[in-house]
Amino acid sequence: MGVSEFLPEDWKDATLLGRIDFGEGPTPVLVRGGRVEDMSRIAPTVADLMNAFGPDAAIPRGEDKGPLEALDIRPVWEDADGAAPVKLLAPVDLQCLKAAGVTFAVSTLERVIEERARGDAAEALKIRAQLADRMGGDLKSVDPGSEGAARLKDALIADGLWSQYLEVAIGPDAEIFTKGPTLSSMGWGDHVGVRYDSHWNNPEPEVVLLCDGAGQIRGAALGNDVNLRDFEGRSALLLSKAKDNNASCAIGPFFRLFDATFALDDVRSAEVELKITGRDNFVLDGHSNMSLISRDPAVLAGQAFGKQHQYPDGFALFLGTMFAPIQDRDAPGQGFTHKVGDRVRVSTPKLGVLENEVTTCDQAKPWTFGISALIRNLAGRGLL
């Protein structure tokens, strides 16, 4: 697989921010004009790089490492012996991993269904039909926090259909939660994990914003906010077990920084596609159009950062998904769930392709490289 296959369609004109391990440890890189620049002598981490140079500042050239296409970058399923000389890592390091939930009408209804079905996929089929009859497409035209939203809330309460998920979907406050610990995200071409004891789960293809320590949105990437529908469906208080597990978060392949070729409006209009290919020959295709999001990306970033909460090293913010697969994979009425070996591709032309292979969290490579390990690595390389 050539590297150009997973990059934005106009990648040689883009400014791409990421991390690559050339053999010594995580190294922040910029890709400009199709060439890789080692930025570690300018800033030891991508968080430091974004904080050192504001949105309108010219970032100096780093050490030239040659054309990106010349690097031998392979996914783990093509590098079983670990012989590849370089590894593409998740393009975040010290940033907090945040996520916005229930930001699309379709996924909102699926969260309500999960809650009422208590994690039972068969029961969900009946509840989905009931909600469709009672609510139709009302949520799609509701402005969260508006008077119209308040009236809809009153009507749903009267009908016995209100849910905590609807509160964050159309109420004044968005759901913003911590997806996982700093440095825990997987990158392109790596495994992504679901718990072995989960029997109803799915990928969540999303756009991820990159924000610096001042809360400014600097760029975007693709993400997979893996979800365990049975765990969260049993109780919303199990959100941490549904979301924060080994290898359960993926971001990549690079963050595309805002410049003359790419802006927040490109995020707002992005069409995000998903393709799942299983070893059992099962294929599932889906898409999410960011224009259908219920809250603007800038509003979500503003609810994550402000007087109430700051992130001095910046944060990455998953914007949510409208994709909630209900296509039956095995028995009728059982819907979709992952199987080990599923290949998951999340893509959009301006951001490229994020591809990962599903395994179980206990079989994924244990996460051992934390903040103290990063500090020791950078210090040992003379970068601190």
Tell whether pTM > 0.85. yes
In the predicted model, what is the mean pLDDT of residues 71-86?
Answer: 87
What are the tens digits of pLDDT across the range 205-240? 999 999 999 999 999 999 999 999 899 888 888 889
Q: What is the mean pLDDT of residues 29-52?
A: 98
pLDDT digit string, tens, across residues 82-112 = 778 899 999 999 999 999 987 876 667 676 7
Helix ranges (DSSP H) in the chain: 46-52, 105-117, 121-135, 147-158, 164-170, 229-234, 239-243, 264-268, 297-304, 371-380
Give the tens place of pLDDT for each residue, 109-140: 676 777 777 767 677 777 777 666 655 555 56
SS3 call for 156: helix
Mean pLDDT of the chain: 90
Per the CB < 8 A criterion, the answer to whether 102 and 165 are in contact is: yes
Backbone φ and ψ of 273, nearest 5°? -110, 150
* Residue located via tokens 């919303």: 236
Decide if pLDDT at 165 tops 70: yes
User: Strand pairing partners for 192?
Assistant: 358
